[in-house]
Amino acid sequence: MNIDDLVAIDVHTHAEISADGHPALPQNLLAASEKYFKAHGHRLPTIPETAAYYRERRMAAVVFTVDAEHATGHPPISNEEVAQACAEHADTLIPFASVDPWRGRAGARAARRLVTEYGVRGFKFHPSLQGFSPDDRLAYPLYEVIEELGVPALFHTGQTGIGAGVAGGGGVRLKYSNPMLVDDVAVDFPELRIILAHPSFPWQDEALAVATHKPHVHIDLSGWSPKYFPPQLVRYANTLLQDKVLFGSDHPLITADRWLADFAQLDIKPEVRPKILKDNAARLLGLVKD
């Protein structure tokens, strides 16, 4: 991967369908997510198609699925498949994995193998979908391995479109995605690199507090069009957190094209813009020397 040639690094994209057509989410949750993002009937891109999209735009993308089988009963897309597909497009794709915290120590062993044998560069957690609180000790063996291996942990925060409008929210509990629950993780694992994903509605101020207080906590800007960003998020991105805020889209539900077009209209300082779009992520992901 030629970092100098890239115009941006998108740290938040989804593997939505496997090579054999297995979707990342159960149909009822997938339909709710499409409705929430006004993406009715959108075609789920394969990982090679995602690679082509980003390569054409001279961008890199972090790709992951979500392992939430304990809570949903739905088998995830294989982490190994994601990693191998990304390896075939290593000029533009960066593999993350997802291990359900409910897998316990077996999950921790799997995480180690995914990094050492498959080249995974980080891990995605979705507490609301996976049905766990980030500060629950059941996840600590997994965090221990991730911290030891020196790769980031990305946590969904704030409201989610998954389950929105479904009876009972499809069983998805929003409370688990309060970023303040990740503060304990940042305390107990002080060298763990953490990314709080999304503008964290309705807990934006909590996310800003954690990111300013804990040196290894970052924020990605995925899941929202930049024109809807809370003003305090823009203010902190321009100032105190300018070295810790990351471009993320939520592709394919929010495409990089749409996100970047709206970001171009956002009042971001010229010297901060390249940090958000590429430099901060390149440093965090170990693509350049810190």
Question: Sign of torsion, CA 49 16 159 178?
Answer: negative
Measure the CA angle with vertex 81, ends 199 and 112; round to 5°: 75
Q: How confident is the model at residue 38 (pLDDT cuts 50, 70, 90)?
A: low
Task: Please tell me the class of the 3-284 domain.
Answer: alpha beta
Rounded-to-integer distance, Cα 90 and Cα 111, Å:
20
**pLDDT value of position 162:** 86
pLDDT digits (tens, 9 = 90+) for 25-36: 777 776 666 676
**pLDDT value of position 37:** 66
88 touches 46 (CB < 8 A): no
Q: Report the range of poorest mean pLDDT among 140-144, 170-174, 213-217, 279-283.
A: 170-174
Give the residue extent of every domain in the chain: 3-284
